[in-house]
Structure 1
Amino acid sequence: MPSVVHTVPAALFSLLLLLMSGCAPPPLGNPRLPYPGGQPPEVGEIRHLATGVSVSQGEMLAVVGDARIVYVGETHDNPASHRLELAVLQEMSRRHPGNIALGMEMFTPSQQGVLDDWTAGRLDEKTFLKRVRWFEAWGMDFDYYRELLDFVRREKIPLLGLNAEKSLVSAVKEKGLAGLSEEERQLLPEMDLDDPYQRAQTTAIFAGHDQGGRHLERFLQIQTLWDETMAANVAAYLGSPAGSGKRLVVVAGGNHVRYGFGIPRRAFRRLPTSYTLVGTREILIPEGKEESLMDVETPDFPMRPYDFILYCAYESLEKTEVKLGVLLGTDAGRVTVEGVVPESNAEAAGLQKRDFLLAIDGEAIGDTFDLIYAVKQKRPGDRGTLRIEREGKEESVEVLFREPRPMGSHGQPKK
Structure 2
Amino acid sequence: MSSRSSLGALALACSLITSLAMPRSAEAAAAQCLVPGTWARADGAGPQPIEGGTLLAAMAQRAVVLLGEQHDDMDHHRWQLQTLAALHAQRPHMVIGFEMFPRRVQPVLDRWVAGELTEAEFLAQSEWGKVWSMPAELYLPLFHFARLNRIPMLALNVDAKLTRAIADQGWAGVPEAEREGVGQAAAALPAYEDFLFEIHGQHAAARGKPTAAAARSEAGFRNFVDSQLAWDRAMAEALLAGRQRHAGADGQLPLAVAIMGNGHVRFGHGVAHQLRALGEEGIGQLMPVGADTGCAELGAGLADAVFAVPVARMSAPPPPRLGVALEEHANGVRIAEITRGSLAERSGLKTDDIVTEAAGAPVKRPLHLVAAVRGQPAGTWLPLKIRRGDQALEVVVRFPPER
Structure 1 segment 125-274 matched on structure 2, within 5 A: 125-184=119-178, 187-207=181-201, 209=204, 210=209, 212=214, 213-240=218-245, 242=247, 244-274=252-282
Does 2:378 match 1:405?
yes
Q: CA 1:407/1:340 → structure 2, altered by over 3 Å: closer, same or farther?
A: closer
What does the per-residue CA deviation read over 1:305-343, in whole Å, with 9 as the maximum and x for residues that have no partner? 1111112256699899999xxxx9999xxxxx95454xx
Q: CA 1:50/1:191 → structure 2, altered by over 3 Å: closer, same or farther?
A: closer
Q: CA 1:315/1:269 → structure 2, altered by over 3 Å: closer, same or farther?
A: farther
- 1:363 aligns with none
Does 2:118 match 1:113?
no
Q: Which of 275, 280, 285 is the equivalent residue of 2:283? A: 275
Does 2:307 match 1:310?
yes
What does the per-residue CA deviation read over 1:70-111, in whole Å, with 9 as the maximum and x for residues that have no partner? 1111111112211221122112221122x1110111112211
Task: Output the CA distance in 1 between the equivalents of 2:160 and 2:358.
Answer: 31
Q: Contact 1:163–1:226 (CA<8 Å) still a contact in 2? A: yes
Number of matched pairs: 306
Does 2:79 match 1:74?
no
> In the TM superposition, what is the alpha-carbon distance from 1:62 to its structure 2 partner?
2.8
User: Identical aligned pairs, as a percentage?
Assistant: 24
- 2:41 aligns with 48
> In the TM superposition, what is the alpha-carbon distance from 1:195 to its structure 2 partner?
2.4
Q: Contact 2:71–2:261 (CA<8 Å) still a contact in 1? A: yes
Bigger drift between 55-64 and 166-175 goes to 55-64
Can you give the 5+ residue segments of structure 2 that lack an aligned partner in the other structure? 1-30, 321-327, 332-354, 382-396
Query: Aligned partner of 2:240: which letter?
Result: A
Q: CA 1:186/1:79 → structure 2, altered by over 3 Å: closer, same or farther?
A: closer
Larger radius of gyration: 1
Q: CA 1:203/1:92 → structure 2, altered by over 3 Å: closer, same or farther?
A: same
Structure 1 segment 332-351 matched on structure 2, within 5 A: 338-339=356-357, 341=359
Task: Output the CA distance in 1 between the equivalents of 2:315 and 2:143.
Answer: 19
SS state at 1:114 partner = helix
Q: CA 1:276/1:240 → structure 2, altered by over 3 Å: closer, same or farther?
A: same
Q: CA 1:170/1:403 → structure 2, altered by over 3 Å: closer, same or farther?
A: closer
SS state at 1:66 partner = coil
Q: CA 1:205/1:317 → structure 2, altered by over 3 Å: closer, same or farther?
A: farther
Structure 1 segment 289-328 matched on structure 2, within 5 A: 303-313=300-310
> In the TM superposition, what is the alpha-carbon distance from 1:268 to its structure 2 partner?
2.4
Q: Contact 1:78–1:316 (CA<8 Å) still a contact in 2? A: no
Task: Output the CA distance in 2 between the equivalents of 1:225 and 1:330.
Answer: 27
Q: Contact 1:329–1:338 (CA<8 Å) still a contact in 2? A: no
> In the TM superposition, what is the alpha-carbon distance from 1:45 to its structure 2 partner?
3.2
Q: Contact 2:43–2:303 (CA<8 Å) still a contact in 1? A: no
- 1:93 aligns with 88
Q: Contact 1:78–1:314 (CA<8 Å) still a contact in 2? A: no
Task: Output the CA distance in 1 between the equivalents of 2:123 and 2:165.
Answer: 25
Bigger drift between 191-200 and 310-319 goes to 310-319
Q: CA 1:129/1:240 → structure 2, altered by over 3 Å: closer, same or farther?
A: closer
> In the TM superposition, what is the alpha-carbon distance from 1:194 to its structure 2 partner?
4.1
Query: Aligned partner of 1:96: which letter?
Result: R
Query: Aligned partner of 1:69: which letter?
Result: V
Q: Contact 2:34–2:292 (CA<8 Å) still a contact in 1? A: no
Task: Output the CA distance in 1 between the equivalents of 2:129 and 2:119.
Answer: 13
SS state at 1:44 partner = coil
Task: Output the CA distance in 2 between the equivalents of 1:261 and 1:143.
Answer: 29
> In the TM superposition, what is the alpha-carbon distance from 1:242 to its structure 2 partner?
3.8
Task: Output the CA distance in 1 between the equivalents of 2:139 and 2:179.
Answer: 33
> In the TM superposition, what is the alpha-carbon distance from 1:263 to its structure 2 partner?
0.6
What does the per-residue CA deviation read over 1:168-218, in whole Å, with 9 as the maximum and x for residues that have no partner? 112212322232234225733122234212211111212353374332212
Q: CA 1:135/1:241 → structure 2, altered by over 3 Å: closer, same or farther?
A: closer
Task: Output the CA distance in 2 between the equivalents of 1:48 and 1:368.
Answer: 45
Q: Contact 2:39–2:308 (CA<8 Å) still a contact in 1? A: yes
Task: Output the CA distance in 2 between the equivalents of 1:322 and 1:238.
Answer: 38
Q: Contact 2:111–2:117 (CA<8 Å) still a contact in 1? A: yes
Does 2:118 match 1:124?
yes
Task: Output the CA distance in 2 between the equivalents of 1:407 and 1:193.
Answer: 49
Task: Output the CA distance in 2 between the equivalents of 1:154 and 1:267.
Answer: 29
TM-score by length of 1: 0.63
Task: Output the CA distance in 2 between the equivalents of 1:318 and 1:93.
Answer: 31
- 1:344 aligns with none
Q: CA 1:282/1:407 → structure 2, altered by over 3 Å: closer, same or farther?
A: farther
Q: Which of 56, 59, 62 is the equivalent residue of 1:61? A: 56
Task: Output the CA distance in 2 between the equivalents of 1:238 and 1:144.
Answer: 26
Q: CA 1:174/1:315 → structure 2, altered by over 3 Å: closer, same or farther?
A: farther
With a CA cutoff of 8 Å and minimum separation of 6, indicate the structure with the bigger relative contact order: 2
Task: Output the CA distance in 1 between the equivalents of 2:318 and 2:49.
Answer: 37
SS state at 1:207 partner = helix
Can you give the 5+ residue segments of structure 1 that lack an aligned partner in the other structure? 1-37, 286-296, 332-336, 342-350, 358-366, 377-401
